[in-house]
Amino acid sequence: MSTSSSRPRVAVLGGGVIGVSAAVQLARRGADVVLVTAGRLADGATGRSLSWLNSFGGRRSEAYHRLRLLGVERYRTFATRVPSSDYLTFDGGLTWAAPGEAGSHRADFEHMRRNGYEAHWLSRDEVAGWTPGVDPAAIPDEGAIFNPGEGWVDLAALVRHLAGELTAAGGRVVTGAGAASVVVGNGRATAVRTAAGERIDADAVLMATGSDVPRMAREFGARIADATPLALLVRAKPAGTALRATLNTPRVAVRPAPGGGLVMDSDAAAAEVVAHPDGTYEVKDATVDGLLREASAVLAGNPELVLDSYGVGPKPIPGDGEPVFGELDQVSGLHVAFTHSGATLALIAGELLAGEIVTGDRSPLLAAFRPGRFG
């Protein structure tokens, strides 16, 4: 990076977990960092993520699998540094297919075992001995896969922690900035401008604005394929369950939350959300109630689950399913972060992106994920 001073100035757009993670890493490397977010921290996709930490299955590239493993490893390191956290656990993941449809799961299982990713195929009767809180009757005859090394994180709590680290390191956080834009001059990023007109000069800019990244990149002639759907995350009040693992089942995914609550989602429930032309969303009571019932049906004792809150909005997914990280070919100093697995990749992605921005040296770990691959 060529800078106007000995201390590089970097503006990060986006108050989600990847933006905040990168901002912290930039500050640790001596950059003068300003984090700018349209609303509150973690009020976008980060705030409605199931945030399952994993590299389950075999239907992604080897480079992506390797990056996810590094992502989980970074969380384990974080857990030793912040040992009192109740928002990050590694209690495993339990996954099963619909009855009679375990073929793809069996292929995933064999792939994981061949590649050293710890996985156990459990019968219905074996599940309770590995992980508590699951209704055995919900598990099909074919059984389920348990991955002991997986975990979950409450991203809103993590973002609060990282934002505190950022300000302690001298970084500045600007919330409620509205739709900020990138200022480009002579082919390179020079500043960001908030909706209120404030100009924040910078030697480099990172756009970590979730589902807005492809649209913002198009303004500079860069194409990033986009397959972003809607997501619905439902939060239930504490119900006294013994569940510790993240469950991924045919009809619902559910995990514990800090304070004893539960969070859950499903693609089927998200498909029932109505998106209005004015940008608002309509979530039917029947959709929420149905998701609560599906979650109850996989929990031991089938407790009555009571709605606490829900979040709805876009879930960033690149068109080819693989992450998009790095500098745009069209604008020097303008970097992007756009990925589906934001929770799993947040810490490692922030680290690698910050290293590239400050030093100008491209990480080989991000070589497969450059935005230029879309042409």
Please tell me the distance from the alpha carbon of residue 156 to that of residue 235, in angstroms, as a whole number: 13
Please tell me the distance from the alpha carbon of residue 216 to that of residue 199, in angstroms, as a whole number: 18
What one-character DSSP code corresponds to residue 369? Answer: G
Please tell me the distance from the alpha carbon of residue 106 to that of residue 144, in angstroms, as a whole number: 9
Angle CA 36–330–200, to nearest 5:
25
Please tell me the distance from the alpha carbon of residue 221 to that of residue 334, in angstroms, as a whole number: 12
pTM for the full predicted model? 0.96
Q: Which helix (H) or strand (E) holds 159?
A: helix 155-168
> What Rg value do the Cα atoms of the chain yield, rounded?
21
pLDDT score at 174: 98
CB distance 54 to 332 below 8 Å: no
pLDDT score at 85: 76
pLDDT score at 5: 53
Residue 351 is which amino acid?
Answer: E
User: Going residue by residue through the chain (375 aa), what tens digit of pLDDT does each one get?
Assistant: 645 457 999 999 999 999 999 999 999 999 999 999 999 999 999 999 999 999 999 889 999 999 999 999 999 999 998 877 789 999 999 999 999 999 999 999 999 999 999 999 999 999 999 999 999 999 999 999 999 999 999 999 999 999 999 999 999 999 999 999 999 999 999 999 999 999 999 999 999 999 999 999 999 999 999 999 999 999 999 999 999 999 999 999 999 999 999 999 999 999 999 999 999 999 999 999 999 999 999 999 999 999 999 999 999 999 999 999 999 999 999 999 999 999 999 999 999 999 999 999 999 999 999 999 998
Phi then psi dihedrals of residue 307, to 5 deg = -60, 135
Model confidence over 223-259: pLDDT tens digits? 999 999 999 999 999 999 999 999 999 999 999 999 9
Phi then psi dihedrals of residue 38, to 5 deg = -60, -40
Fold of 9-47+156-224+320-374: FAD/NAD(P)-binding domain (3.50.50)
Angle CA 137–143–146, to nearest 5:
105
pLDDT score at 375: 85
| Domain limits, CATH 3.30.9.10, in the chain | 93-148+229-314
Joined together, the tokens standing for residue 311 give 């979040």
Joined together, the tokens standing for residue 69 give 């493993």
- DSSP-derived pairing of the beta strands 246-248 and 230-236: unpaired
CB distance 24 to 165 below 8 Å: yes
| Domain limits, CATH 3.50.50.60, in the chain | 9-47+156-224+320-374
CB distance 318 to 225 below 8 Å: yes
Please tell me the distance from the alpha carbon of residue 99 to that of residue 105, in angstroms, as a whole number: 11
Q: Can you say whether the dihedral through the CA atoms of 187, 180, 336, 159 is positive or negative?
A: positive
Farthest-apart Cα atoms in the chain, separation: 66
Superfamily of domain 93-148+229-314: D-Amino Acid Oxidase, subunit A, domain 2 (3.30.9.10)
Model confidence over 84-123: pLDDT tens digits? 778 999 999 999 999 999 999 999 999 999 999 999 999 9
Using left for φ > 0, alpha for ψ between -120 and 50, and beta otherwise, residue 321 falls in left
Residue with tokens 């972060």: 337
Please tell me the distance from the alpha carbon of residue 17 to that of residue 49, in angstroms, as a whole number: 11
Joined together, the tokens standing for residue 204 give 């480099």
pLDDT score at 83: 77
